[in-house]
Structure 1
């Protein structure tokens, strides 16, 4: 599920690039990518398909070895080895496998982790927003680290990392981290720019942190009190996030706009697409909220249900990405930050 969520996110980013190019949204300028080194959508799709082919092949080999009765400790080490290989490829210093893109990805992650000490640019907080949609992936990484570091894979004790208090407490930190990083970015931007909107945005991520914290607490204590608190806190956080999605990030719901409930400038000609997208964002936000209360759908295992709900949040983020860049592009064009010629307030004098 961890690999699936990551490469689904990467695939949707490829779809975003395709649509940005098709609608002439200057994403390379917004992200400050070098024109000769940026990943094209074909490159992203190639990375996704190749990587998932490797993952499926290793998974098939893993299951085959289990069926043939090979040593459990050896077989259980295979997923960890696969993860290690991907991490080694990511930090590989040689000029192979899109080194420039890997380097900039690692730089963005470094800037996110050390947010208060670096000026926040568009690509940094855009990447941090992506991490906010990958909390289940980060939780899985935390579990895998515990599973292999404590050698639980040798005894196939899958529940050890959920029983030990230290690792249960670590789950709180992992759930908080993406929202904490994003909140610190808002604080740094407010400090640099003095715009009060960044403080209001910070409040959104604080509410998300509270929702994530109550969720983890409910996982450890399935009482009615914690369930009620989870629903209340998460509902408030979701309403806060929906307002920011539609009004601030997408620039929609402008009552005085010439396009009712949208905005004056639209890149897509079909206005109904914006309303459909807002409806989908609302539904997918609510689907993400359901991960808090651990629903069981029929006879499906709860972990399978949570995986599908986590995938829906990744899909929602892919939808959000397009309109976030559209709004940023239009703002840049309106302020003459994305054009080569800026109109000056001088009258032209015709020469005889």
Structure 2
């Protein structure tokens, strides 16, 4: 039987063979390795393995502790190695199985990044050849000097970037190695990772989006007629029902509106050739299209209005606990979100939950483009979080049994939690900026964090004014909110959208614009300015009843989401044109190995 030592030796030999194979393939294509013995040195050594490349005898898996899970794993390993008797021997150190999985994923990502870079090199070469061909044709047409054109054409055709096949050879080598070690010799599986293709859109998605939209409109008309006939929304109607419907309907309506506007963003990005999947580092075969976003928006609204109609029928029939229907809708929505089966856009749902985890546990996770983009969306969804707070309190406290909705609204803990929720998205975003500053040492990140901290201060002052509406706090609201709004507008226009570029050929804009009509940019700037001033409603005493106040609050929340929708387009346009986030086309993936020093 094999002893553990022999099994370990076999694993080391197998790993060394794979490493030798990779480096030999790279060396055949002109890649040299600094600090490792070459073929001539290896032959002089006269070892049993001849001219094969040798790796250091003590190499340890090294995964950077870039998140809480990896940090805890590293602490556990160190603790186990300290307690082991053979902990002094680096070769016998304990390595957790999870760490090996991380290392394998890092190596796979490195292969994918290398293959992606080689594909970009091939496209760059072909585009340059085509560009030279078109330039020469234009030169012949203008100057009528065919002989000079033939000379230039011959130079181009014999140049290294046109005749060299090293990139093709190296690409084939990477593909074969990935096929062997990461795809089980299944080419279809390998190409899903190395060269994912855009998912083909079908007319069924368009049909379903139209079907759910028409169903929603019909059901909403039915619900409006039934509610008016029963008088439930009259001034003397059921207050608890109106509160519940307002919060549940607003919660799902705001989510649906955001999905719809994201679909509009996807459509505009596609129309203007902005590659958002490349910028967000999404897989093309699983990324959402604008039709998918429209379908999700229509399905959400169709489902929530269906639940409200059923709830109203149950109330008229005198059924016990009819208000449990909206609660069942919330539970069903959570079940769909966490569903482990490959239905209802599982890859998108899992990506959303992973991004939300990174946001909630900021600054412990590395900030990616998708992370801070989603965190910015949350800063516009503070009313949604407040609605979720009321719904959770209402159903978890069992208030739907006797309808005492005041249990939540009059609770002091509820009011304190509402205050925390109001500035929580700004706190997450500020922590992301601080994490980016620690990694990049960019002073702009500190200034960016200051924008969100000023928003937290303004929110706290407005809450204090709501509790004690005195003239002093009115002035404090005006001063703090005006300063925050000016800060936000500067960052929107100058940093995020790239406008007000000095000496730009487009007045108050930037030199490079994707939209042909410059008037659209000016209108968007004015709209952004007006919608940033929606906080003025908090200091205006408008004589309206409670139902009208609810409608006005919902309208303000919807306008903020619309403002965020237009912000999304110009932010991605600026990223596409100027790479303001300083991202690279090919990721640099460090290999998870570290050479140990022997004493």
Q: Normalised by the size of structure 2, how large is the TM-score?
A: 0.54
Bigger Cα displacement from structure 2, 226-235 vs 43-52? 226-235
- In structure 2, do the counterparts of structure 1 residues 110 and 160 end up closer, same or farther at CA, with 3 Å as the change threshold? same
- In structure 2, do the counterparts of structure 1 residues 166 and 336 end up closer, same or farther at CA, with 3 Å as the change threshold? closer
Is 1:268 matched up with 2:512?
A: no
- In structure 2, do the counterparts of structure 1 residues 52 and 27 end up closer, same or farther at CA, with 3 Å as the change threshold? same
Bigger Cα displacement from structure 2, 148-157 vs 290-299? 290-299
Distance in 2 (alpha carbons) for counterparts of 1:100 and 1:327: 28
Distance in 2 (alpha carbons) for counterparts of 1:280 and 1:273: 10
Of 538, 548, 573, 1:292 maps to 538
Of 341, 346, 350, 1:103 maps to 350
Distance in 2 (alpha carbons) for counterparts of 1:19 and 1:295: 39
2:294 — aligned with what?
45
2:493 — aligned with what?
246
Distance in 2 (alpha carbons) for counterparts of 1:229 and 1:333: 35
Report how many residues are paired: 336
Is 1:193 matched up with 2:429?
A: no
Q: Which runs of 5+ in 1 are unaligned?
A: 340-352
1:294 deviates by 6.6
Aligned 8 A contact 1:119 1:188 in 2: yes
1:310 — aligned with what?
557
Aligned 8 A contact 2:575 2:581 in 1: no
1:236 deviates by 1.2
Distance in 2 (alpha carbons) for counterparts of 1:145 and 1:182: 24
Is 1:122 matched up with 2:356?
A: no
Is 1:226 matched up with 2:465?
A: no
Of 40, 65, 74, 2:314 maps to 65
Partner-residue secondary structure (3-state), 1:37: coil
1:231 deviates by 2.5
Residues 187-244 of structure 1: CA deviation (Å, up to 9, x unaligned)? 0001110110010011100011112222223333333333332232112111110110
1:337 deviates by 4.2
Within a 5 Å distance, the mapping from 1:1-352 to structure 2 comes to: 1-71=250-320, 74-287=321-534, 289-293=535-539, 296=542, 298=544, 301-332=548-579, 337=584
- In structure 2, do the counterparts of structure 1 residues 184 and 335 end up closer, same or farther at CA, with 3 Å as the change threshold? closer
Q: Which runs of 5+ in 2 are unaligned?
A: 1-249, 587-599
Partner-residue secondary structure (3-state), 2:512: coil
1:82 deviates by 0.6
Aligned 8 A contact 1:179 1:209 in 2: yes
Partner-residue secondary structure (3-state), 1:75: coil
- In structure 2, do the counterparts of structure 1 residues 268 and 337 end up closer, same or farther at CA, with 3 Å as the change threshold? farther
Residues 285-337 of structure 1: CA deviation (Å, up to 9, x unaligned)? 112x1353376475552121111001100000001000000000112399894
Partner-residue secondary structure (3-state), 2:404: coil
Distance in 2 (alpha carbons) for counterparts of 1:333 and 1:320: 15
Aligned 8 A contact 1:290 1:309 in 2: no
1:338 deviates by 5.1
1:81 deviates by 1.3
Distance in 2 (alpha carbons) for counterparts of 1:165 and 1:14: 39
Partner-residue secondary structure (3-state), 1:50: helix
Aligned 8 A contact 1:175 1:212 in 2: yes
Aligned-CA RMSD value: 1.9
Aligned 8 A contact 2:251 2:384 in 1: yes
1:164 deviates by 1.4
Partner-residue secondary structure (3-state), 1:225: helix
Partner-residue secondary structure (3-state), 1:70: coil
Q: Normalised by the size of structure 1, how large is the TM-score?
A: 0.91
